[in-house]
Structure 1
Amino acid sequence: DSVISLRAPTQVWSASSGDAAGETVHGIYHGDVRYIGEITLSYDGHLPEWISTSSHGASHVTFGGLMRSIDDSPPDPRVRLLRERHVLAGEVREVVTIVPSLSREVETTLRLRLVPSFVPLQEVKAGDAETLGWTHARRSGVDAAERISATGARQSFDVTAPGAKVLLTDDAVTLEWHVTVRPRERVSVEWSVVLHDDELVVMGVSRPAEWNLDPLAVSGLADSRVGRWLETALGDLDALRLALPDHPEDEFYAAGAPWFFTLFGRDSLWAARLALPVDHRIAASTLRVLARLQGSELRPDSAEQPGKIPHELRSSELTMPAGGISLPPVYYGTVDATALWVCLLAEAWQWGMPDDEVLALLPALRGALDWLVNHGDSDGDGFIDYIDRTGHGLANQGWKDSGDSIQWRSGELAEGPIALCEVQGYAYEAALAGAEILDRLGEPGADGLRVWAAALKERFASSYWVDTPEGRYPAVALDAHKRPVDSLTSNIGHLLGTGILNADDEACVAALLVGPSMLSGYGVRTMSTESAGYWPLSYHGG
């Protein structure tokens, strides 16, 4: 199993022993780049025998191992090795401690091998990672500790290792500590790496997170484990916080590690929305961050449209040759983020977002609502839809954005433009929420939005429902020919609570989602087991 430690925008993936192997996802990442692909800790030419991994939160983990070959005692091991890892934004620190229970003094040499990588994240994801060229230089720090710099095309890192001997080769940086281990006395060495990228478009957040509750002081819980679960969840959210350099005060949640460790419209909005009971402030700041990036003109290459909320933000162009994908640094290929932005604004206000902050976002709200009514429907059929017109953008632009995610029950792929069922629910909810905000602010336009929403609800009821051997339910989407794509998927669960379904239809949808073809025992499947395209390991069809 892989072990992750993170503090956005920095993350470390390793084996349970703490070592990292470059042919996997393992390594030290910062932003969109893997800086170090291999990390190997050894002693006297031996690898420690791993026995434990203890997590102390999202950013702190301790690995435990045995050093059998240096104690020559029978059969109970007498020397342990503890490897304590801390991850900060832009830095990774490790303290390696030898814990002996020996009656005599021994000598050993600890060796840490680091292999620079400087490989873009998407190449690691695609399995095409090849270490890029790098240079290194030795220099001394003010603390007299040896410091090593490695530089790639744009990024660089500095390694500091007090007391270590440094060996430089064409493919690695190796640190060696000659250690004297005295009877029953711990001895520690440490090293750290600081990661640099002057063009990184996101930055870490150093100030403490502020929650509206103490997770371990929540009363009335039927199960005491809920408090500990909540404490862990809040710690993970804390480690996912990011900001943009031009507005460091406005935080948002990274979409997720390892591949989406940046601002994603949909994901950052959903995370902030689900976290409203514990913090409405990050919802407000997420809204502001996305409003500053809101589309203002028509740009087919980036899918930008006036009022549209962006999909993702990267430091440079995202290219995935195997999939024929090439996305600009700011990409707007998302059909749902704009409606979700409006929904979050309405709920954040209900949870305590100050009136003046809501009022300041009125222009962005009007832009988002205008996009829903006037730009979100590409073919004039009355439904919000998407189609990639560039040939190198995302073929699917909902939360199921893999190329094969929208398919018929027979397994055939649907042809776009695609009008996803859940997006109509989001749009309906957003129109009514937007109307309510306009009314509360004394602004015009609410009545027109309510009329538009009512018409959308009526069209949805007459166009999306299908009858199959699995039952009656909303199709996952309408295809280019306005036919309901009849696969049973988890997408219909997103309709619940939006208001676009009546009570009986919601009960029907809920029953199907917990039926045997959709509920796995671990959670809700993304596609029914009765669909021809179902495969348990599929990203969006399993």
Structure 2
Amino acid sequence: MTAPDSAEPAPGALNAGEPVPVGGAGGTVTIVEGSTFCLSDAAGDIQPGTAYGFFFRDSRLVSRWELRLDGQAPHPLSVRTPEAFAARFVLRRPPRDGRTDSTLLVVRDRLVGDGLRETVTLANLGREASAVNLVLHVDADFVDLFAVKEGRAAHGGADAHAAGDELSLRDRSNGSRGLSVTASADPLVLPGALSWRIVVPPGEKWTTEIVVQPTLANRRVRPQFHRGEGLESSGPARRLRAWRSGSSAIIADDPLLTAVLRRTESDLGALRIEDRSMGRRPFVAAGAPWFMALFGRDSLLTAWMALPLDVGLAVGTLQTLAESQGRRVDPITEEEPGRILHELRWGPDSARVLGGSHYYGTIDATPLFVMLLAEAWRWGADEAVVRKLLPAADAALSWVDGYGDRDGDGFVEYQRATDRGLLNQGWKDSFDGINDAEGRVAAAPVALCEVQGYVHAAWLARAELADGFGDPATAAHCRSRADGLRRRFAEAFWLPEKGWYAVALDGRKQPVDALTSNVAHCLWTGIATDEHAATLVRHLAGADMDSGYGLRTLSAAMGAYNPMSYHNGSVWPHDTAIAVAGLLRYAHLDGAVDLAQRLATGLLDAASSFGGRLPELFCGFARDEFSPPVPYPTSCSPQAWASAAPLLLVRAFLGLDPHAPRRTLTVRPNLPPRWGRVELSDLRLGPATVHIDAEGDTATVRGLPADWTGPEPAHPAG
């Protein structure tokens, strides 16, 4: 994703500053559905001058949404989010003067989905009728999400008009954008407010339903809900049920793992976008609040992790990214032929910040695209669809060979084309995210260790596709390229005096020698030799890397270590999950399985302290220093690859390796003892639907077709 950047930006540069903290004293409540999301305080209010708001397609529409009873803010009692797209705020009217208790309960039920619906219910628990003056203050500013993210959303750019029961707000700078607010129960509608004078009899309730409907290009957007329908009947709920019914189900004896997986399923369902302008193909937005859009790296890795649930998500992601693949050279957007984009934005500031709606400044999305294409094929993606995407894969590898390898040394490196672009273009894309053991920032161009691993895996992926489609010459060529890269990588990146891979080679081709979590990605992609991997396992297991809640992004022994930083000592759940998958790829090495189980246990324990939902990242303090883990203040939640990380853990510990075209299924479990029995039901692998039960190092498979080769007999790992 686009990282915080505390360096002084160039005018109009991408990444101008760390996201402003969103939460107030009571915390932030985020609900999200596709490209729609809402941020509020624990009472449900959106205060002007904050980063709260109701957002749609990368623009904040509602900048004020405050409920007042007799001129006072109600007192929050509790808040619950039954699904990612809905919230219930339970409040009370402040007690009367001289009283300690209140008899008027206030409930705000909120739902988002291409619009916002809020049902306000007043319940009189007293013995006398209660008179209430209820006012909802509403305003809009229509500012770009980047402006809100960077704390520069200053102008109030809306014209308000009241007519009958409708409040209309229009963008002063663009009259084709706006919103309407309507409500039941006969409100008095004025510019900026809806109000009701109510008498609630004792023991009875009063209700109003308020609907916000966006307007784009002078056309009203149809919300995914209807007035008066229950939450379970709404469009977001129906979409989530369809997602769940079409996905595999995973349950475990461990109640924490089951709860985390349930939250994963809900969050990924809510983050799915099926945009009409993109043929309604599904892909996953990177995360709320600031990244509710298609991101090459994030969407590809999330789709990879989610393969046990639904291969269709990977197919939709690949098709969407292929349509936007680079065709020309544009230094402003960093587009190049064959390059896979970094992010796609719809907001009014996209052209100023990104140079256009499409920005291509990422070094790793392009090889990840080729990796995912072959993996989706293995998991049962339709062969005709995969064949149709082969030209995009070949264009991606041509980019790797040409524009990706800037100096022809056989490694892929990055250097931004102008001062508008991202300084660092790997997954650690903050300005100081790549540094040496002393803490000095690496000078561009930079060749990252994990990116060479992705490229190695991409060549092997294309070779496997060529084998499958009867093209042995291409397969041999691609395998030769992968083998040559693996040899050169071992020679140039391995630091024998330290026992780990350099995180990168800098602009002088000197190793950047910090110990980072990036090296674990080299285990995941298989570019590491067994000899090097055995040494890496020992270093990753050290207390300087293992925080007790997951793997730190940077060793605590390094000069730039800061457990409160974005990339230099924090813990990222997706990063730890990739490390676990990498360790289990080398399960035959001493200590690899033990460390994988320890990291996974710590990560799930962290999830329990975040309500079962893993955030984008959290601080990397040691577990014996701070427990539960310390949140990172501007972390996204829900965030796609963090939400999907538990799926990668399950897949890796099951040793699940299907190959639908070859009709084979391998299962080699190394499940953590705490998990007990794990059941994966309705796993769809092309024409086959199978059920897997596993515990410890044994597994059984039911439903495997007669012409498939099943798992090898269960045996101890290693």
Checking the alignment, whether the CA contact within 8 Å between 1:110 and 1:176 is kept in structure 2 is: yes
Question: CA offsets per residue over residues 507-540 of structure 1, 9 Å max, x none?
Answer: 3333333421122233222222222222222222
Distance in 2 (alpha carbons) for counterparts of 1:438 and 1:185:
70
Checking the alignment, whether the CA contact within 8 Å between 2:124 and 2:205 is kept in structure 1 is: yes
Matched residue, 1:80: 105
| 1:119 alignment partner, one of 143, 148, 158 | 143
Q: Tell me the TM-score normalised to structure 2 length.
A: 0.69
Structure 1 regions of 5+ residues with no counterpart?
A: none
Matched residue, 1:255: 286
Checking the alignment, whether the CA contact within 8 Å between 1:199 and 1:315 is kept in structure 2 is: no
| 1:40 alignment partner, one of 66, 69, 72 | 66
Matched, 1:186 2:212: no
Q: CA deviation at 1:212?
A: 7.1
Checking the alignment, whether the CA contact within 8 Å between 2:57 and 2:347 is kept in structure 1 is: no
Distance in 1 (alpha carbons) for counterparts of 2:37 and 2:172:
18
Distance in 2 (alpha carbons) for counterparts of 1:541 and 1:2:
25
Q: In structure 1, the residue corresponding to 2:106 is in which secondary structure?
A: strand
Matched, 1:522 2:549: yes
| 2:258 alignment partner, one of 227, 252, 277 | 227
Matched, 1:531 2:550: no
**1:82-231, aligned counterparts within 5 Å?**
82-88=107-113, 90-140=114-164, 145-154=165-174, 155-162=177-184, 163-168=186-191, 173-198=192-217, 208-209=239-240, 210-211=242-243, 218=250, 221-231=252-262
Question: CA offsets per residue over residues 293-343 of structure 1, 9 Å max, x none?
Answer: 11122222222222111111112675799xxx6543211111111111111
Matched, 1:442 2:470: yes
Checking the alignment, whether the CA contact within 8 Å between 2:249 and 2:309 is kept in structure 1 is: no
Question: CA offsets per residue over residues 445-474 of structure 1, 9 Å max, x none?
Answer: 121111111111111101112256xx4111
Q: In structure 1, the residue corresponding to 2:269 is in which secondary structure?
A: helix
After superposition, the CA RMSD in angstroms is: 2.5
Checking the alignment, whether the CA contact within 8 Å between 1:212 and 1:277 is kept in structure 2 is: no
**1:2-17, aligned counterparts within 5 Å?**
2-17=28-43
Taking a change above 3 Å as real, the CA distance of residues 378 and 229 of structure 1, as seen in their structure-2 partners, is same
Taking a change above 3 Å as real, the CA distance of residues 73 and 106 of structure 1, as seen in their structure-2 partners, is farther
Matched residue, 1:497: 524
Taking a change above 3 Å as real, the CA distance of residues 214 and 282 of structure 1, as seen in their structure-2 partners, is closer
More strand by share: 1
Q: In structure 1, the residue corresponding to 2:239 is in which secondary structure?
A: coil
Q: CA deviation at 1:215?
A: 8.6
Distance in 1 (alpha carbons) for counterparts of 2:354 and 2:284:
24
Question: CA offsets per residue over residues 104-155 of structure 1, 9 Å max, x none?
Answer: 1121011111231222111111122212422122234xxxx33423334333
Taking a change above 3 Å as real, the CA distance of residues 433 and 253 of structure 1, as seen in their structure-2 partners, is same
| 2:460 alignment partner, one of 413, 428, 432 | 432
Distance in 2 (alpha carbons) for counterparts of 1:100 and 1:476:
63
Distance in 1 (alpha carbons) for counterparts of 2:330 and 2:246:
46
Identify the range of structure 1 (366-375 vs 274-283) with the bigger mean alpha-carbon deviation.
366-375
Distance in 1 (alpha carbons) for counterparts of 2:523 and 2:218:
42
Distance in 2 (alpha carbons) for counterparts of 1:394 and 1:233:
30
Matched residue, 1:462: 491
Q: Tell me the TM-score normalised to structure 1 length.
A: 0.91
Taking a change above 3 Å as real, the CA distance of residues 504 and 77 of structure 1, as seen in their structure-2 partners, is farther
Checking the alignment, whether the CA contact within 8 Å between 1:313 and 1:330 is kept in structure 2 is: yes
Question: CA offsets per residue over residues 271-312 of structure 1, 9 Å max, x none?
Answer: 111100000011111111111111122222222222111111
Distance in 2 (alpha carbons) for counterparts of 1:107 and 1:316:
43
Tell me the amino acid that sits aligned with residue 12 of structure 1: C
More helix by share: 2
Distance in 1 (alpha carbons) for counterparts of 2:263 and 2:250:
14
Taking a change above 3 Å as real, the CA distance of residues 86 and 373 of structure 1, as seen in their structure-2 partners, is same
Structure 2 regions of 5+ residues with no counterpart?
A: 1-26, 225-234, 570-718
Taking a change above 3 Å as real, the CA distance of residues 440 and 24 of structure 1, as seen in their structure-2 partners, is same
Taking a change above 3 Å as real, the CA distance of residues 123 and 226 of structure 1, as seen in their structure-2 partners, is same
Identity over aligned pairs, percent: 38
Matched residue, 1:381: 409
Checking the alignment, whether the CA contact within 8 Å between 1:318 and 1:329 is kept in structure 2 is: no
Distance in 2 (alpha carbons) for counterparts of 1:246 and 1:472:
50
Taking a change above 3 Å as real, the CA distance of residues 214 and 365 of structure 1, as seen in their structure-2 partners, is closer
Taking a change above 3 Å as real, the CA distance of residues 204 and 369 of structure 1, as seen in their structure-2 partners, is farther
